[in-house]
Amino acid sequence: EAGVAQSPRYKIIEKRQSVAFWCNPISGHATLYWYQQILGQGPKLLIQFQNNGVVDDSQLPKDRFSAERLKGVDSTLKIQPAKLEDSAVYLCASSTPRGGEKLFFGSGTQLSVL
């Protein structure tokens, strides 16, 4: 089966610019997650969707980060405006409601903010 697709693979922007990341989960997976992974650290959950509703966005910096999942399938994560400390890998994952915490991750988008 096809895995979780993410694009772009790499992105370089200057601070105060905007950027968007796209994720297509595994077909049939109702739950979608966005994680942020700073170099040398484990991934940190930013937001979790169940279908197109938000389950948990407690660690999403809402003053600059936004995410949506229209129609309960694809999702986009946006940063506006970006700061230097946003440099990280942004990982998307998906799972089925009956899959427990067996998450399937994409390869991520590596963001560099200069």
Partner 1 sequence: DAKTTQPPSMDCAEGRAANLPCNHSTISGNEYVYWYRQIHSQGPQYIIHGLKNNETNEMASLIITEDRKSSTLILPHATLRDTAVYYCIPKGWGKLQFGAGTQVVVTP
Contacting positions for partner 1 (CB under 8 A): 4, 35, 40-45, 48, 56, 91, 93, 100-108
Q: Is 45 or 73 the residue whose CB approaches partner 1 more closely?
A: 45
- Burial string for 14-37 (b: 16+ CB within 10 Å, else e) reads eeeeebebebbbbeebbbbbbbbe
Q: Is 5 or 20 the residue whose CB approaches partner 1 more closely?
A: 5
- Closest distance between partner 1 and the C-beta of residue 81, in Å? 26
Nearby residues of 21 by Cβ (< 8 Å), 6 or more positions away: 6, 7, 8, 11, 76, 77, 78, 90, 92, 109, 111
Q: Is 44 or 83 the residue whose CB approaches partner 1 more closely?
A: 44
- Closest distance between partner 1 and the C-beta of residue 46, in Å? 10
Q: Is 1 or 101 the residue whose CB approaches partner 1 more closely?
A: 101
- Closest distance between partner 1 and the C-beta of residue 71, in Å? 23
Distance in angstroms between the alpha carbons of the first and the last residue of the chain: 37
